[in-house]
């Protein structure tokens, strides 16, 4: 029971032109347009992001990957035991997501549409980035991580532990923030949950993180973001818990993306700790 990695993220976006600039010129991802939407490839998977033109902005679906049908069915059974409505994905939706089988449900804690799937379509042809980057650290670590604000932090953590199969990596509490970091594979965290607050409504996506193969990919990306006039929200720095070196930018949809490098992984001797600051150095809020 439980998921193995973050597989994909689908987004509704009101400014797909600005998103295209971000995804291609900054992140070097490979666009795969279809029926008005755009899928983006960044590794051996057919795609990891899908952007749907919309009159509003937000998460359309978070795709969680499992490695077997048995694990898929066990997780669906665990959801249904909790009276959560789980819907089998149609053949059309599986074809759109490029997976063998999936189920969807509305997360009772975050409110987003979750999809659990197995059997992603992959290719052996090389990823051809739109700028000279080394690529992304994915594989068994998954796409990266997502961070959401929630109303009930303790209950949300328990749901993702008991039903979705996550384990707690560590905690950070600073200023008025309260965050729990959770893993489902060696990536330090695939999901982080934060207590809602002023300007941080429950259910909203705070950011999506993607991890580069080299520090230079991130460094050149930072320069491109500055040159393109894309808002930098947090300056380059290094996190206290996962040791990722990264910066944060604001997407055309309002939520942020973190572009990082060098995150440490969860090992067998991992000890859960509680940090009093999110950064070792840098990571200054812009204007703060
Ligand atoms: Fe992050």
Position 271 scores a pLDDT of 96
Spacing, Cα 90 to ligand 1 middle (Å): 32
State the pTM of this model: 0.97
Spacing, Cα 35 to ligand 1 middle (Å): 31
Report the helix count and the strand count for the chain, using DSSP H and E: 5, 18
Is-contact 233 248, C-beta < 8 A?
Answer: yes
pLDDT digits (tens, 9 = 90+) for 87-110: 999 999 999 999 999 999 999 999
The string over 123-134, giving b where at least 16 C-beta atoms fall within 10 Å of a residue's C-beta and e elsewhere, is eeeebebeeebe
Q: Which domains does the chain have, with CATH numbers?
A: 5-120 (3.10.180.10), 139-282 (3.10.180.10)
Query: What is the number of alpha carbons within 13 Å of residue 80 lying toward its C-beta?
Result: 11
Is-contact 13 59, C-beta < 8 A?
Answer: no
Residue 272 phi/psi, 5° resolution? -75, 130
Name 198's Cβ contacts closer than 8 Å, sequence gap at least 6: none
C-alpha span between 234 and 218 (Å, rounded): 14
CB atoms inside a 10 Å sphere around CB 78 = 17
**Would you say residue 195 has pLDDT above 80?**
yes
pLDDT digits (tens, 9 = 90+) for 130-176: 999 999 999 999 999 999 999 999 999 999 999 999 999 999 998 88
Q: Average pLDDT in the 210-226 region?
A: 98
pLDDT digits (tens, 9 = 90+) for 23-33: 999 999 999 99
Using alpha carbons only, what angle is made at residue 196 by residues 193 and 200, rounded to the nearest 5 degrees?
A: 105
Spacing, Cα 249 to ligand 1 middle (Å): 11
Spacing, Cα 215 to ligand 1 middle (Å): 16
Spacing, Cα 207 to ligand 1 middle (Å): 7
Spacing, Cα 240 to ligand 1 middle (Å): 11
Does residue 88 come out as left (phi exceeding 0), alpha (psi in the -120 to 50 range) or beta? beta
């Amino acid at each position: 029971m439980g998921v193995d990695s973050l597989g994909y993220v689908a987004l509704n976006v009101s400014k797909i032109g600005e998103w295209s600039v971000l995804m291609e010129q900054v992140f070097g991802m490979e666009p795969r347009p279809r029926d008005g939407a755009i899928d983006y490839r960044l590794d051996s998977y057919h795609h990891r992001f899908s952007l749907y033109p919309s009159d509003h902005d937000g998460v359309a679906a978070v795709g969680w990957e499992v490695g077997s049908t048995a694990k898929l069915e066990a997780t669906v059974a665990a959801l249904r035991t909790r009276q959560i409505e789980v819907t089998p994905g149609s053949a059309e939706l599986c074809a759109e997501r490029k997976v063998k089988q999936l189920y969807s449900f509305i997360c009772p804690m975050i409110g987003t549409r979750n999809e659990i799937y197995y059997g992603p379509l992959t290719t052996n042809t090389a990823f051809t980035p739109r700028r000279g980057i080394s690529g992304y650290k994915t594989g068994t670590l998954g796409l990266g991580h997502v961070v959401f604000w929630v109303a009930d932090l303790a209950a949300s953590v328990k749901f993702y532990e008991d039903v979705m199969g996550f384990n707690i990596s560590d905690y950070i509490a600073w200023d008025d923030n309260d965050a729990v970091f959770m893993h489902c594979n060696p990536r330090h965290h695939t999901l982080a949950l934060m207590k809602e607050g002023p300007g941080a409504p429950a259910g909203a996506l705070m950011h999506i993180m993607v991890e580069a193969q080299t520090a230079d990919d991130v460094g050149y990306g930072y320069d491109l973001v500055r040159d393109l006039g894309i808002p930098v929200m947090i300056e380059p720095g290094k996190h206290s818990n996962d040791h990722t070196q990264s910066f944060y930018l604001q997407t055309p949809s309002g939520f942020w993306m973190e572009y990082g490098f060098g995150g440490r992984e969860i090992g067998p001797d991992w000890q859960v700790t509680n940090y009093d600051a999110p950064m070792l150095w840098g990571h200054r809020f812009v204007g703060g």
